[in-house]
Amino acid sequence: MKSWVFPLSLAGVFFLFVGGLILFFNFDESLSNDTYRSGSSVNKIKKGNSSDERSLEDSFITSKVDKVENEPSALFNDPAINQAWGLKKADAARAWTLTKGSREVIVAVIDTGLDVNHEDIKGNVWKNPGETGKDSFGRDKSSNRVDDDQNGFTDDVNGWNFVSQNGNLADNHGHGTHIAGIIGAEANNNKGIVGIAPEVSIMVLKYFDPQSPGSDNLKNTIKSIHYAIDKGAHIINYSGGGLEYSQEEKEAVDLARKKGILFVAAAGNERANSDKIPYYPADYGLDNIISVTAFNPSQEVLSSSNWGVLSVDIAAPGQNILSTLPGGAYGFMTGTSQATAFVTGAAALVMSHKTGFKYNDVKKYILASGDALPSLADKTKTSRKLNLYKALIVLDEDLTASGVRAVNDSQVKILSSKQEQSRTSIQSTAQFGKSLIEALEKENQKEPLKGRIGNKPEL
């Protein structure tokens, strides 16, 4: 080789790399929230009383708008879908070609309440069948001031407000509405955004209200968990927590486990190693809990987020996430709260794709099918970030035979939902589950990540 060939090709590689970087940053720049600042009132709300035993993490609304810009998408007609960098990084569009979720899947969001009339989410709010329809006097059960289903809560048609002890779920903070939108904002309605599971039922359990600083957030959390168990939730999203261990709370999460409920919890925004300083309920060590940390568009864990190779399961998008806000608005928030909602949405998709899956199956698939990243090797147990599409596609038997490689291949054939249903209905969960996990493990062993020994997903 001539002596000038090598430096020249090196320069070529360099320019290609720089070009790629510029493209990448332009791409993500288009997703920045600057477009949303004009005409918006920036609404910063501090978390509750610092002495509260359970609270939202430091979650702020960084900007807020009444309307989102129209950016047509190929898949759905929701105007802001292209603003959602997290959906792209989590491979959501391909996931939605397989399933958009199901209203049969009930997700309990234990948070600050919800704007249940929000234009982009009202269709996905859970309705308590025991408080719906007419009573024997012809009155609407949802407002007849009778506890029609005799569960101890009167007119709890969409959930319960444990702060004010009533069925008024109004969100005085914004956090709960933001989380619910990430999980299940409606798709294809020409409005706003798209949730990870655009078809889902969101049960609203309000444990925290900034307007009631004296209320007992931990007790309200525990009551909310019991409500979710009693009313048949499949998944609980808890985007909050605290440093205090509570035996009673742990027992509530354990009871949820015994009832087959998956509990997705924020790793916390304490800038701490959760292996050393546990954060609860994420760190009770129960196998129905998925602890989630947050990463940014460069796929680095946020400096504010908790991490831990023993305690934190997986990472998901959590910086400048666009979602719904009270009053029919939209806005951006950052934190492991938002990342948690991504994983909850993924779990809802997996459960609707494979009815009959137990919480542990869902957890396995979500953790095992994430994308391994060196930047996550010293941050999470699995070294992985959420990949919605892979969490679903790994369930399809013909791909298990060829292993993970097929999943990574852009040529992967996407089955129509009908084909997909007929294929998957004839196979046993145990069979394809086992072969797939083995395939994933094999693949993992081929690509050891630096800084970790035996970086297998925790299965």
Active site residues: 111, 175, 337
Instruction: Classify residue 85 by burial, with Cβ atoms within 10 Å: 0-12, 13-18, 19+.
Output: buried
Which of 19, 152 has the CB closer to Ca ion? 152
Taking the complex as a whole, how short is the minimal distance between the CB of residue 177 and Ca ion, in angstroms?
14
CA distances for 288 relative to 227, 346, 384, angstroms: 17, 15, 18
H-helix segments, 281-394: 336-353, 359-368, 388-393
Segment near Ca ion (CB under 5 A), from 126-134, 167-175, 237-245, 294-302? 126-134
| Residue 327 DSSP symbol | T
Distance CA 411, CA 97 (A): 15
Residue 153 contacts Ca ion per CB under 5 A: yes
Q: For helices 336-353 and 359-368, what crossing angle results, to 10°?
A: 120
Distance CA 368, CA 387 (A): 10
Cβ-count burial 175-185 (b if 16+ within 10 Å, e if not): bbbbbbbbbbb
Binding residue for Ca ion (CB under 5 A) from 75, 146, 277, 449? 146
Distance CA 179, CA 181 (A): 5
Binding residue for Ca ion (CB under 5 A) from 58, 149, 275, 378? 149
Taking the complex as a whole, how short is the minimal distance between the CB of residue 206 and Ca ion, in angstroms?
16
Segment near Ca ion (CB under 5 A), from 4-12, 19-27, 182-190, 314-322? 182-190
Binding mask 371-390 for Ca ion (x = CB under 5 A): --------------------
Segment near Ca ion (CB under 5 A), from 102-110, 148-156, 267-275, 428-436? 148-156
| Residue 441 DSSP symbol | H
Residue 199 contacts Ca ion per CB under 5 A: no
Segment near Ca ion (CB under 5 A), from 98-106, 124-132, 230-238, 255-263? 124-132
Binding residue for Ca ion (CB under 5 A) from 120, 171, 199, 420? 120
Binding positions for Ca ion, 56-85, rule CB under 5 A: 78
Q: Which has the closest alpha carbon to 282: 291, 274, 269? A: 291
Give me the residue whose beta carbon is nearest to Ca ion. 78
Which of 141, 381 has the CB closer to Ca ion? 141
> Binding residues for Ca ion, per CB under 5 A?
78, 120, 131, 141, 144, 146-149, 151, 153, 155-156, 186, 189, 191-192
